[in-house]
Structure 1
Amino acid sequence: MTPGLASDSTHFSQIAQTVRTLAPGEWDAWFRALEVAFGGTGEPPEARQLWHDLTEVDRAQGVWEGAVPVAGSGAFSLRMTVPGGAVVPVAGVTMVGVLPTHRRRGLLTAMMRRQLDDIRARGEALAVLTASEPAICGRFGYGLGTLRVSLDIESRRLSLPAPPADGARLRLADPAESGPACEELYAARVPLRPGMLERRPGWERLPLLDGPAHRDGASPLQVVLAEDGRSGRLLGYARYQVKDESTGRSAAGVVLVRDVEALSPQVYARLWSYLLEIDLTDRVKAGSRPVDDPLFHLVSDTRRLNPELGDSLYVRLVEVGTALRLREYAAPVEVVLEVADEFCPWNAGRWKLQAGGPGKEATCLPTTAAAELALTVRELGSAYLGGMTLAALGAAGRVTELRGGALAEASRAFASDVAPWLPHGF
């Protein structure tokens, strides 16, 4: 499942239904109800087993009618990179849905209310999710924090200049056997980009899912490693599949890219050169890449990448003061924020944010000083990882400047040199 939020209304039910934590033995029925809420298509067995094993039962909740679950939600205890490179605890909200027979009874609101209270009680200042319906998660204070770009590359109609010699050699390897080394390299990359997720124990299985249902007619998962020619040290890797789409007499296959990670620009270019030149293929597809992916500047013809922009991670500040202290700021800032938050009223009010710039600790405390910017917690979520600027939100009328120059000052401070990116769903 790539979970998000399925719909409901904000009116609480008059029916005697309550939100409670999942009990032992209820997972199968609970998960099946969520599958139905998301359209009824069941997960493949290997994916279902993975979600079963990763589910944190004490963070899974639902609504039952007798013994029948009619709504459910969950959260994962994740760790995510924030601007400045700190990797901090976040609640990964997931598997949120209501059966179509029980919509518009307030069940979703009741679950989100209990969940945010629980997140706060656990001391997590941030919650994140991917959204099936963004308009719904916005009601609960989640703002669009990261974008992604999908690529459908006409590989035979562009070229990638040969990268400089890097001492690396390429080798095909078994995905499972190479998994630990790839995970070690991935972990080294996590602090370098806001939005990236540290893979806690068990999550290393997610990028290796490779049952028949995950192939859709493509090859089994393949992995190419870039290793130092002398030491054998892993310098980068790419995971992919190849799908034959030949018609008539011409061979036309597509390379389906799942992951590309590298420790240097040279190795990154080398791996993409490999992917673009695989025999008997004329297209390369990558479903989710950062919006500032270096590939845009490596190829001879950017148009042949056929990029398509999409939304990705939604961010919610559960504790405004703590969340704003966790990250660094790109420029010195001193600003009083008037924050509106109807769903988590403990956040509402004025907050004075002070930071000295990169490498400096920030403070954010309640204040009675005059407000200089007015916004809701949703806008703070959008700007938090540095992917959406406060200036752009102001231009949309979603941030109000109450002191001249405050918006530009804060917007510069919240920015990130590297675009935030969510590497995989949860």
Structure 2
Amino acid sequence: MTAELRQLDQSEWEQWYATLERAFGGVAEAPEERQLWDDLTECERSIGAWDDGVCVGTAGAFSFRVTVPGGALLDTAGVTMVGVAATHRRRGLLRAMMRRQLDDVRERGEAVAVLTASEPAIYGRFGYGTASYSLRLEIDTTRVRLAVPPGTDEVRLRYAVPAEAGPACEAVYARRVAGRPGMLARRPGWERLITLDPPGERNGASPQQCVLAERDGEVVGYALFAVKPEWDARGPKGTVRVQDVEALDPAAYAALWRFLCDIDLTSTVLALNRPVDDPVVQLVSDVRRCDLRSRDSLYVRLVDVGAALEARTYQAPVDVVLDVEDAFCPWNEGRWRLVGDPKGASCKRVDADGTPADLALSVRELGSAYLGGVPLAQLAGAGRVRELRQGALAEASLAFGSASAPWLPHGF
């Protein structure tokens, strides 16, 4: 590698970001979207690779707090904006940026790094494991009805201007964060991402719309969506594109989904990113008419194994010694004794010579299992976790689970 790696200076942002855009196909973003990312970029956490004064590689990180099983918010590095110019591929640039970035994450005392992957095959070699999935639904509302719980009719719905309703929506979202692993506690400025609605990216749909759910004058839920009108010889067949739905109780949640499925002149409700255990799946009358599909979402990398495993709680009592392999971050290599239960946990390094291991796995598998969405038993079935003490796999796999499936509500 001949390029120079250095921390991004704000004056270099335009060239740096243009390099990233080109790496992702070269289509320029809308000015308002580009401005948002300019405002949110943390230059002190961003790396540029420069060759003779030209930016040829980018990598950044956001300072996040992510919910882990048990409800704690863990300081986390949100890895983002990673790209290498096509002229400089296969020169070790990506590896060098990942090396520098993870060293920096460790120095900052963040036990975990997360990312979303444009290409899933890339990041496993750096210790990232698939930790959550998202659900895509396409509900045929001409054939599907919703069975709603008691109290749904008592919820009042009203339209609101998305930007004006932002604080109320954020308050609902904030109350939901602790209940689901993988959710991000949004810092100031990030609420702008949720209502970002560039006209050039609507693809024939309406501007973003917002409906608030209220009970006794209090906002208890919201839906952000757009409607794409369409007609054929048989009549209207528009699509409701769901961008976000959150509510504080089942009745409010059902009221919002019933509204989305009953909008006039539409026949389809399309939601591209919902939790895999979304309750709406249990409200619909015919799940086969909802075209459910899942795909990978959040990738997790344990930067400090001991601190990360101590930060979460465990569904059931667990006492196991993990023999961890981590070639890219060798400070994690070795044996760790994890003792935990629903109240808390301890994870300490132990002497490899004097303490037999119960399970053997790499840090990538620990990342996949960390949020409770990928069972250790499933990874063992694929040969990626080895049971060294009989019964240890079942014990650990149960303990690592989560009552709610992990979910990343939006990208970064």
TM-score range, shorter chain: over 0.9
Of the three residues 171, 181, 186, the one matched with 1:199 is 186
Matches within 5 A, 1:47-196: 47-166=33-152, 167-196=154-183
Alignment partner of 1:25: what SS?
helix
Whether the aligned pair in 1 keeps the contact of 2:130 and 2:296 (CA below 8 Å) is yes
2:362 to 376, 379, 385: 376
Change (3 A) 1:48 1:373: same
Residue 363, structure 1, aligned to residue 346, structure 2: yes
The amino acid across from 2:309 in the alignment is L
Q: Does 1:407 align with 2:393?
A: yes
2:277 is equivalent to residue 312 of structure 1: no
Q: State the alpha-carbon separation in 1 of the partners of residues 398 and 68 from structure 2.
A: 16
- Aligned to 2:10, the other structure's residue is in SS state coil
Identity %: 61
Distance 1:75 1:324 in 2: 22
Partner Cα distance (1:162, 1:64) in 2: 57
Contact 2:136-2:271 within 8 A present in 1 as well: yes
Aligned Cα root-mean-square deviation (Å): 0.9
- Residue in 1 aligned with 2:22? 36
The equivalent residue for 2:308 is: 323
Structure 1 ranges of 4+ moved more than 6 A: none
Distance in 1, Cα, partners of 2:196 & 2:80: 19
Give 3-state SS (helix, strand or coil) of 1:43's partner: coil
Q: CA deviation at 1:86?
A: 0.4
Matches within 5 A, 1:19-34: 19-34=5-20
Asked if the contact 1:75/1:94 (under 8 Å) is kept, the reply is yes
How many Å separate the matches in 2 of 1:331 and 1:254? 44
AA paired with 1:58? E
Structure 2 partner of 1:4: none
1:255 equivalenced with 2:232 (yes/no): no
- Which runs of 5 or more residues in structure 1 are unaligned? 1-12
- Give the distance between the partners of 1:67 and 1:244, measured in 2 at CA: 49
User: 1:126-173: per-residue Cα shift (whole Å, max 9, x none)?
Assistant: 000000111110010000000111111111111012442243211000
1:197 and 1:24 map into 2 onto residues whose CA distance is 26
Question: SS where residue 282 of structure 1 aligns?
Answer: strand
**3-state SS, counterpart of residue 142 of structure 2:** helix
TM-score (norm 2): 0.98
Distance apart, 1:217 and its partner CA: 1.2
Q: Distance between the aligned counterparts of 1:33 and 1:248, measured in 2?
A: 47
State how far apart, in whole Å, the 2-side matches of 1:311 and 1:361 are. Answer: 28
Q: CA deviation at 1:88?
A: 1.0
Alignment of 1:223-302 (within 5 A): 223-228=210-215, 230=216, 232-302=217-287
In 2, are the aligned partners of 1:290 and 1:421 still within 8 Å (CA)?
A: yes
Taking the aligned partners of 1:298 and 1:361, their CA distance within structure 2 comes to: 34
Is the CA contact (8 Å cut-off) linking 1:238 and 1:260 kept in structure 2?
yes
Question: How far apart are residue 67 of structure 1 and its match?
Answer: 2.1
- 1:393 maps to 379
Structure 1 residue 247: Cα displacement:
2.3
Aligned 8 A contact 2:155 2:251 in 1: no
Structure 1 residues 328-363: Cα deviation after superposition (integer angstroms, max 9, x where no partner): 0000000000000000000000000001x21x2211
Please tell me whether the aligned partners of residues 62 and 79 of structure 2 are also in contact (alpha carbons under 8 angstroms). Answer: yes
CA–CA separation in structure 2 for the residues paired with 1:23 and 1:121: 20
For residues 376 and 391 of structure 1, the distance between their equivalents in structure 2, rounded to whole angstroms, comes to 14
Hey, what's the Cα distance between the residues in 2 that align with 1:250 and 1:18? 60
Question: Per-residue deviation at 1:42?
Answer: 1.4
- Aligned equivalents of 1:253, 1:382: Cα separation in 2: 38
Specify the SS of the correspondent of 1:268: helix
Contact 1:30–1:72, Cα closer than 8 Å, also in 2: yes
* 329, 352, 357: which one aligns with 1:344: 329
Could you tell me how far 1:301 is from its partner in structure 2? 0.2
- The 2-side partners of 1:276 and 1:226 are apart by 15
Specify which of 397, 407, 410 is matched with residue 421 of structure 1: 407
Tell me if structure 2 keeps the 8 A contact 1:163–1:270: no
Query: Shift in Å at residue 417 of structure 1?
Result: 1.0
- Deviation, 1:249, is 4.9
Letter in 1 for 2:252: V
